[in-house]
Structure 1
């Protein structure tokens, strides 16, 4: 049976229609690069269409039309009517780029093929929602998308505003469908106005319909489309004559090559889809970017310094260890938050990481996401006051609050905007900003009360590393000076303090016996040359004789005891050196030797061990090398 194929152009209906210009403009002018918008929109569509079993395979392939040019021209030409000003004829050349977005293990675009037909009870109208309708409310509960405006990016990236869609549905009776679509500008043919929307397929009595099953397979093979295996379901969206954008803006811009575009697409996948690389169950996504059949290597987000902290923070949220975004009214639990503190490092300059980097400066951002775990944005909060430190955090909306955040998103799903919301939805979105700033401040700029003997050593470091160190408990050994209830001494400036007051009135022997070396203030984390250290301040009182003090650092296990033997393969923190307050060169090792003289303070450095609870302590060595009884 011969089927007539060609382009069918939509007339404005007497009651009104949607002009093509309006569909493309629904995207607005996103700040993100169009290739990044494509990655985000396509991945959301694929994730919402996932099947219940196994991961989603998501791929992007770039290639020149090349030797297939004649076949494509024969199949898709002539273009829509001349009055439509279609450029399809001009762009179908050997140098034209085909950008193919593919997913597998998804349900495909099923349901009716015409918009006016009611879907069966077990069907969703996916085909007409993507190919024909505009602005229809989503029917995917807790889906990544909201309304279908974002699909305009597929047309915007085509130099002819044209795409070709090849899909195979899942289920007991799978169906393959092949159809083209194009968006141009509205126009007149004599007195009849046309919307600028066009469809390619089987020309019927009133509209164009998709090619089905064997006809779709035959034409798909002629055009060199990926096709589907016997048990496969999914969708291929071909952007015809893709505009790959520019490497740089302004006068120095140059058109991206295929390799540069692939690199940028891969980088966008890493930055915006990293939560989907690893999920809590078997429902995750596998990503693939290819250029002329050659695959671009995508590292795991856990292997990238700038993403590893976000991955760990999301792991905490998934495991129920996040800080709840609690409200007094419904929805009372609106989401969870987790933050990871880390040394500030120079940004990774791997091209695959750097190409689509959405952040500048040190990490001080919260990756915000709804329940589908697709990154909405990187919300900037306060920069860490210590330039050597940075942090990254994750906020994930709860199921109860997901709808409120979905309503706040623009068509590109890249922000949460409170403007225009009402009631509880407004409260949820507005309150989140305050919540995030407050939680970040609790970690990087905590307001702590003066420490007591019971809380010594838990102040600054526990507040700043409470999420980095699971039990939020960095401890110290030794009693505080009763004359100094703050525990900081009065030597925080780092200057040497001369004996005075009660110290000066004692005899030298009494002074030495009464005042033992001790840890003062709050232990803390410091980063030097991108290496983190646990740090404590040791006060060594004045003495008439030489004193030798040894510093220790222990890993503390449950119950407060020091760890006797670490787990196999685990790192052990070690005292690596110390430095006096007078600015002399650091001294390696754990022993501090101080000659007769005034009181001094020393900074003691211990090697950093991830996910450990540590305790600093000091002991004075007797002249024979043993310790004084304490």
Structure 2
């Protein structure tokens, strides 16, 4: 049975247990976003292979009766007074309790000394005491994902009773050592008798001085497995953190909670989920009550694929400065002038889908530094044509620390006032943010400019998307026809039949496929004559010319059919109607992704037999 150790204030003072939680302060992030960001950042920082992969898993489940008994009686059998954990029994319903387990592999685990007052070997990491014992972060650990070491307080915040059970396997003294210990956080200090306590508590194996240490060895591994925790392979290293009685803030069920964390992984960690070169560098796994929940797949998402595509292009530019990107992508080097210093690369592109989705992430730039977690989505000026724009800014490697120093505890912003700079020296964080905003303000002022071969008149927001739709017309319907003229004797002459586009091209979904719709009007023609209308679509090149076949392997637009005003869809290639025809007609083509197409329409007039 584990013993409880309560930290008492010393005569020389101490630290209130709420310090880590209070340090987080106000943030725009939701609880489960914070949980994902803090835990994933810790896992990524702890990877054993700097160029390799790690696994990151989130599993929620309801413990069975035996597991609940072990947890409540053998691990947390002793509870402190006046703490959140004091109410543990209230969260056991029908002899069961819910837990959320966050685990990783391919990481080094929590190694080093198990006591904070032990110096350890020269150069030895102190991951266990830094995570379990200490508050804050040693400056010797550098600035990777977590710069303050206080964000772990959110893990205790995520528990209704402020309790976590921490299991880890790490190399120690030349062997893999399993370790298991209970920890509480987020409680306030309190009086008990004549003594005052900080509110910090641990559950483990008591030492001679009464301070508890983790349970170690095979016994620790066996107990973790009995409780249902995901543990590393016996010869592997990694960490699992069990959050006891997870909070229901913002969710109604365990499935919703894990889904919220999976959504957070997509929003903040999509760069790690991209299949580039050797595959994703983080393998995500999510489950709730034994049911798998889909992990992040950014290239399959209508919004995050925009950021992911820009990131992939930016990455190629960084690796190869001669890379020009595709014709939808713009690269901007963000630099300071005095001194001349490269701060990072801004890559942006207009949306695949020119229709506004209403997403809060439209017209924003994902701000990235090492470790390639999204720090923030920076709102920027929207293009005047209404087509959403998405961008990614990747900080220069030698500027990583400057940007990291500007972040609050939750790492969800760049606050240039926090960046450490010499007096009267230019602030690189402020310069970078100002330049990013200015880039999009200039684009907004200049407006969208149609490329060669594209008429500005009548250009729709779709056409302005540079890769959405470009509409052009040829044949007898190429231009707006003049009004009907009268002869000298006042009689009206029949106009030549013509076809013209009357609305901007639009995108739609038809049987799960993205299609482009072009609506036309037919005018003129001798009454009673037959009007035959044909349309064709061509891929548009970067110079504005047509490609009848398109690039090798590229998807080509395919004619779907004609849509009548009545809603009837006809797959006939030629639409034949009788003049005069006053109803609108709409041609539908498939719209290949990342492809501009030009549509041509012609009309031929024929006399009916007997005329």
**TM-score tier after normalising by the smaller chain length:** 0.7 to 0.9
Give the equivalent residue in structure 2 for 1:326.
Answer: 333
The residue that corresponds to 2:413 in the other structure is 415
The answer as to 2:527 corresponding to 1:527 is: no
Q: Could you say which residue in structure 2 is the equivalent of 1:49?
A: 46
Shift of 1:577: 5.1
Shift of 1:11: 3.1
Q: Does 1:612 align with 2:610?
A: no
CA contact (8 A) 1:340 1:392 kept: yes
Q: Does 1:399 align with 2:383?
A: no
Looking at structure 2, the residues matched to 64 and 174 of structure 1 have their Cα atoms a distance apart, in angstroms, of: 28
Q: Is 1:11 equivalent to 2:8 in the alignment?
A: yes
CA distance 1:210–1:565, shift in 2 (3 Å): closer
Give the Cα separation in 1 of the matches to 2:458 and 2:369.
34
Deviations 1:184-236 (A, max 9, x none): 21123555433221222233355433233245335435655444322221101
- RMSD across aligned C-alpha pairs, in angstroms? 5.0
Residue 164 of structure 2 corresponds to 163
Deviations 1:466-520 (A, max 9, x none): 3x46xxx9585879xxxxxxx9x8x7xxxx75268xx99xxx99x98xxx98999
Aligned-partner SS, 1:75: helix
- Secondary structure of the 1:18 match is coil
Q: Shift in Å at residue 342 of structure 1? A: 1.0
Name the counterpart of 1:572.
Answer: 557
What SS is found at the alignment partner of 1:72? helix
Structure 1's 396 and 568: CA in aligned 2 closer, same or farther, altered over 3 A?
closer
* In structure 2, distance between residues paired with 1:424 and 1:300: 33
Q: 2-side partners of 1:170 and 1:396: how far apart?
A: 37
Please list the CA deviations of residues 90-136 of structure 1 after superposition, one character each: whole Å capped at 9, or x if unmatched. 45743332221111121111233233444656643322221122221
Question: CA separation in 2, counterparts of 1:298 and 1:161?
Answer: 27
How many Å separate the matches in 2 of 1:257 and 1:584? 43
Q: 1:231-274 CA deviation, whole Å, 9 max, x = no partner?
A: 22110111123323354xxxxxxxx3334433433444444444
Post-superposition Cα deviations, 1:58-109, rounded to whole Å, max 9, x if no partner, equal 2323323632233234433553554668516645743332221111121111
2:369 paired residue number: 370
CA shift, 1:529, in A, is 6.5
Inter-partner Cα distance in structure 2 for 1:164 and 1:462: 54
Aligned to 1:204: 207
Whether the 8 Å CA contact 1:373–1:396 is kept in 2: the answer is no
Query: How far, CA to CA, are the matches of 1:613 and 1:319 in structure 2?
Result: 23
Identify the range of structure 1 (18-27 vs 611-620) with the bigger mean alpha-carbon deviation.
611-620
Q: CA deviation at 1:402?
A: 3.5
Alpha-carbon contact 1:185-1:196 (below 8 Å) kept: yes
Alpha-carbon distance in 2 for matches of 1:221, 1:454? 65
Confirm whether residue 336 of structure 1 aligns to residue 332 of structure 2: no
Report the alpha carbon displacement of residue 405 of structure 1 after superposing the two structures with TM: 3.6
> Shift in Å at residue 165 of structure 1?
0.7
State TM-score, norm by structure 2. Answer: 0.74
- Please give the secondary structure, in 1, of the residue aligned with 2:342: coil
Is the Cα–Cα contact under 8 Å of residues 364 and 382 in structure 1 kept in the other structure? yes
Which runs of 5 or more structure 2 residues have no equivalent in the other structure? Answer: 318-324, 422-426
**Cα offset for 1:310?**
4.0
Alignment correspondent of 1:277: 273
With normalisation by structure 1, the TM-score equals 0.72
Q: Residue 167 of structure 1: CA displacement?
A: 0.4
For 1:169 and 1:418, the matched residues in 2 are separated by 38
Contact 1:525 1:532 in 2 (8 A): no
Aligned partner of 1:483 in structure 2 is none
How many residue pairs get aligned? The number is 572
Partner SS state of residue 327, structure 1 = strand
Q: Which residue of 2 aligns with 1:70?
A: 69
Distance 1:141 1:190, change over 3 A: closer
In 1, the alpha carbon distance for the partners of 2:462 and 2:147 equals 41
Match of 1:555 among 526, 532, 539: 539
Q: 1:615 to 1:78 in 2, by over 3 A?
A: closer
Q: What whole-Å deviation, never above 9, does each CA across 1:548-571 have from its counterpart, x for those lacking one?
A: 775432225689563348756934
Q: 2:433 aligns with which of 429, 435, 440?
A: 429
1:261 paired to 2:262: no
Q: 1:217 aligns with which of 218, 221, 245?
A: 221
State how far apart, in whole Å, the 2-side matches of 1:54 and 1:420 are: 33
Partner Cα separation in structure 1 for residue 605 and residue 594 of structure 2: 35
Counterparts of 1:274 and 1:97, CA distance in 2:
29
Counterpart position of 1:350: none
**What is residue 233 of structure 2 aligned with on the other side?**
229
Offset at residue 155 of structure 1 (A):
0.9
* Bigger shift: residues 202-211 or 94-103: 202-211
**How much does 1:438 deviate?**
5.0
Which residue of structure 2 lines up, in the alignment, with residue 484 of structure 1? Answer: none
Report the more deviating stretch, 430-439 or 32-41.
430-439
Matches within 5 A, 1:132-151: 132-136=133-137, 143-151=144-152
CA 1:474 to 1:367, structure 2 compared with 1: closer, same or farther past 3 Å?
same
Q: Is contact 2:116–2:129 with CA below 8 Å preserved after alignment?
A: yes
User: 3-state SS of the aligned residue for 2:464?
Assistant: helix
Which ranges of structure 1 fall in alignment gaps of 5 or more residues?
248-255, 348-358, 480-486, 626-630
After alignment, is 48-57 or 610-619 more displaced?
Answer: 610-619
> In structure 2, what is the equivalent of residue 351 of structure 1?
none
- Secondary structure in 2 aligned to 1:26? helix
Structure 1, residues 518-559: CA drift from partner, whole Å, max 9, x if none? Answer: 9999x9752356886557799999899988775432225689
Alignment partners' CA distance in 1, 2:267 and 2:82: 43
Distance 2:222 2:575 in 1: 82
Distance 1:309 1:92, change over 3 A: same
Partner residue, 2:286: 289
Residue 243 (structure 1) aligned with residue 244 (structure 2): no
Q: What's the offset of the Cα at 1:302? A: 4.1
Tell me whether 97-106 or 567-576 shows the greater mean CA deviation.
567-576
C-alpha distance 478-457 of structure 1, shift in aligned 2 (>3 A): farther
Q: Which residue of 2 aligns with 1:124?
A: 125
Provide the rounded CA distance (Å) in 2 between the counterparts of 1:384 and 1:67. Answer: 60
Deviation at 1:24, TM superposition (A): 1.4
Q: Could you say if the C-alpha distance between residues 405 and 541 of structure 1 is closer, same or farther in structure 2, counting changes exceeding 3 Å?
A: farther
Which one is further off, 153-162 or 90-99?
Answer: 90-99
Q: CA contact under 8 A between 1:36 and 1:268: conserved in structure 2?
A: yes
Tell me if the contact between 1:7 and 1:200 (Cα under 8 Å) persists in the aligned partners: yes
Question: What is the rounded CA distance, in whole Å, between the counterparts of 1:615 and 1:85 in structure 2?
Answer: 66
Q: CA separation in 1, counterparts of 2:453 and 2:85? A: 79
SS in 2 for 1:115: coil
621 and 141 in structure 1: CA distance in 2 versus 1, 3 angstrom threshold: farther
Q: What does residue 482 of structure 1 align with?
A: none
2:25 aligned to which of 20, 23, 28: 28
